Structure 1
Amino acid sequence: MTGSSMVALVTGGSRGIGAAAAVRLAEGGADVAITYVSDAAAAAGVVKEVEALGRRAVALRADAGDADEVVNAVGETVRRFGRIDVLVNNAGIGVLGPLEGLGLADVDRVLDVNVRGAFLATQAAAGRMGSGGRIITIGSCITQRVPGPGGTLYAMSKAALTGLTKALARELGGRGITANLVHPGPVDTDMNPADGPYAGPQAEMTALGRFGTAAEVADMVAFLAGPGAAYVTGAEFAVDGGHAA
């Protein structure tokens, strides 16, 4: 990605993969808006990091599970920067546990954030994008290989993003807008640290025998946002160390 006019919105961009993607996009020449829910200090840190690269940045408080806040975040991005060229649907939550232990509130919350939030952000952003727009959604390796019990709700929510992405590619391709999906494997973040109590088995499930980094996933996001991916749409990319191999 090049050019001072590029504007990206990264949902859930205050930490982990989202924060790394925001910084990586800024390195490629984008002004960046991020959303966050509760950690204003972390969001401010990402804004400072982007601004240190000479790009404009803003942190917007928006819960991906709240329909109005999701749509408003897109509108505010356009209001602040004048346009939106790249949307990274990164915000997501995981509720893991036995099938019989999942309540209706769990189901609603996971689907509201992981599926409805991504759909509404995309709907709002696509209506404001011109030719060359990019929609990049963060899925999960668990949709391609489920390693054990307890992930039914999370896997279902992330698998829905495959249908969303492929349908978007068909619906928006005529306007020159691409839509692609990135499936991270075990990635070292605050939510799933590489030295955590469950890290060993996760690393062993990968062909490379290690956790990935948020920066490695962000590199794929940046590629899909850049000129080299202009003919790539409706595709899924595993950045999972061979978890699905």
Structure 2
Amino acid sequence: MPDLLEVKNIETYYDLVYAIRGASFAVEEGSITTILGNNGAGKSTILKTIMGQIEDQPDKGIIEFDGIPIQKWDTDKIVRKGIAYVPEGREVFKELTVHEHLLMGAYLRKDSSGIKQDIKQVFEYFPVLKERTNQWAGTLSGGEQQMLAIGRALMLRPRLLILDEPSLGLSPILVKEIFSIITEINSKGTTILLVEQNANMALSISSTGLILENGRFVMKGKAKDLLEDKDVKEFYLGIKSETSAKGYQRWKRKKAWR
């Protein structure tokens, strides 16, 4: 399959300090691609740069969606192109109902019958939301709000769905449920770019994994291979080995790529 999203050597800075330095990667159409990294590595910054949420950024580099450069586009133009974004922290509107949120997600669409069909599909993914149709979003649990944020994004009928830390703050049972639904969404044709700290769960559903350190990608490969890599196991999956901290630094230098 061709690449739907291609990021080429982008650099993004905050207050003259570079947060992303020469980052390049591609997301194959129909795939799930995961970006892993510790807190502060720059994962969310990459997503915000793609979505045009950081003014005048990237400072350098090219971001192509379906072969068209979109770097520095306004966010609403990027959304209209077919990219939906679920930010870290859910960001629902507390005094809007579940139904109103789903309608908001479809604000660019005019096909009323298709909108009704997609609301039905969202309720099939997340049956609890159907039970909460007329309930204010602010009264939902954290897990239900995450479901609603994903459902709202799906109402766009995006070609690319970008998810930032969808498992953050959720119970293990809900994490499994969310990732199962992400897999199902992908199976129906939606390409997914995922940022996640739950490395084991993310890699288990992905085709490609990338590891970000201090604004640079230091490793990429097939997700199944990363799951078996001894260094990834120790430093991202919490499986101890005899590798030392010095060994980790050598590993990062050896794996570094741009």
TM-score (norm 1): 0.35
- Structure with a larger share of its residues in helix: 1
Greater strand share, structure number: 2
Which is greater in Rg? 2
TM-score by length of 2: 0.34
